[in-house]
Amino acid sequence: MSLPVTVVGTGAFAREHLLALRTVPEVEVRWVAGQDLARAEKLAALAPGARATTDIAGAVTDPAVEAVDVVNATPGHAPWTVAAGRAGKHVHVDKPAALSLPDLDAMVAATEGRGLTLMVGQTVRFQPVVTTLAAAAHAGQIGEPRLAHISWYTGHAWPGGWRSWQLDPALSGGHPVHNGTHIMDAATWLLGADPVEVFTRGFRTFSPDMESPDSFHVQVRAANGALATLELCYALRTRGDMLRRIVLVGTDGTLRHSTEDEPGLGSDAAKPGPLSIEGALARQLAHWVDVVRGRAEPVVRTGQVRAALAGALAAQRSLVTGRRVHVHDIDGYEREATAVAARRTEGA
């Protein structure tokens, strides 16, 4: 039985989603919806039978559609997720899920609150190396995780490789939110604890006049006392260059990985992606379908997404203020924490 899907978005990553959805036999893309019809038509051609439209509301609420993949610019995540949930659709939404915790809470209420599913595209969890490291850590192979050091360096064309909304913190949340949600989620997942305090420093490597820094470091203290150092850089000179290192130290051992240790050949003309991260998006979307169909428990849970988003929002605030930030000071954080505690008490 096919899963009829509407894809909301016509950008570069919407294209990646459509290509990945083609590898999931069960998925039938009915609509590609966005504000630019020409772009929508070009992307719809990637999915046999899909139609393009600028009537996003109509495509999201179409009775023939069962699920919606929201992969447009971040300011549109919350409105279209809420609209889809209210129309009875299961939702997959790209990261960062929202620009605020209240927006994320509204998205959860509109979907999970109605007995539907909501999956946020924390793609890093589906990269083979991170999946393997997390499984080992959660199985207790290194005891209790105490220290994490994650470094991600990427060659990217700043600012030419980014559209204006991505460079505007008011629209993207800032780099610690737009891309930093990935690395914050990885640390949260590997350490098995929510971030509670962060301190951020950023650097505009080659574009000093750009509003958003292309590189930043975040120091994180987690709820269990563990510490993490997170480095994210999108400023390597050659597009396609990549270096990723993960070190996770526990009370009984250490887990580590570096893309430098992976076999393979490369040149300036051909830079294949590391095997440790390849194919993550296809696995992610296939897992989403399994969750929608009730065949799998979600790897990405919205409570964990909320914790990572709160940490990323705190990192952006620290970047702007130059001060350490307590995550519980982020707007909406305590309200939901109190509600969760109340629900637990009622269920006791």
How confident is the model at residue 1, as a pLDDT? 83
Q: Which two tokens stand for residue 310?
A: 């709160």
Give the CA diameter of the chain: 61
In the beta sheet, which residues pair with residue 278? none
Residues 75, 175, 123, 95, Cα dihedral to 10°: -10
Q: Which two tokens stand for residue 198?
A: 């962060």
Lowest mean pLDDT among 11-25, 231-245, 272-286, 327-341: 327-341
3-state DSSP assignment of residue 215: strand
How confident is the model at residue 212, as a pLDDT? 83
Task: Tell me the pLDDT tens digit for each residue of 267-293.
Answer: 454 455 566 678 999 999 999 999 999
| One-letter-per-residue 3-state SS of 106-147 | HHHHHHHHHCCCEEEECHHHHCHHHHHHHHHHHCCCCCCEEE
Does residue 118 have a pLDDT over 80? yes
51-53, strands of its sheet edge to edge: 51-53, 27-33, 3-8, 67-70, 90-94, 118-121
* pTM of the model as a whole: 0.92
CA distance linking residue 56 with residue 43, whole number of Å: 15
Where in the chain does DSSP place strands (E)?
A: 3-8, 27-33, 51-53, 67-70, 90-94, 118-121, 145-155, 195-203, 215-222, 227-236, 242-250, 253-258, 325-326
Q: What CA–CA distances, in Å, run from 178 to 74, 82, 165, 171, 283?
A: 8, 20, 11, 9, 22
CA distance linking residue 185 with residue 302, whole number of Å: 11
Task: Tell me the pLDDT tens digit for each residue of 70-87.
Answer: 999 999 999 999 999 999
How confident is the model at residue 155, as a pLDDT? 83
- Quickly list DSSP for 140-173: TTTSSEEEEEEEEEEE--TTTTS-HHHH-HHHH-
Please, what is the average pLDDT of the chain?
91
Reported as a pLDDT band with limits 50, 70 and 90, residue 159 is low
Place of tokens 């991170």: 130
Task: Tell me the pLDDT tens digit for each residue of 205-218.
Answer: 877 777 788 899 99
CA distance linking residue 306 with residue 311, whole number of Å: 9
Does residue 168 have a pLDDT over 90? no
Reported as a pLDDT band with limits 50, 70 and 90, residue 247 is very high
Ramachandran angles phi, psi of 48, nearest 5°: -55, 125
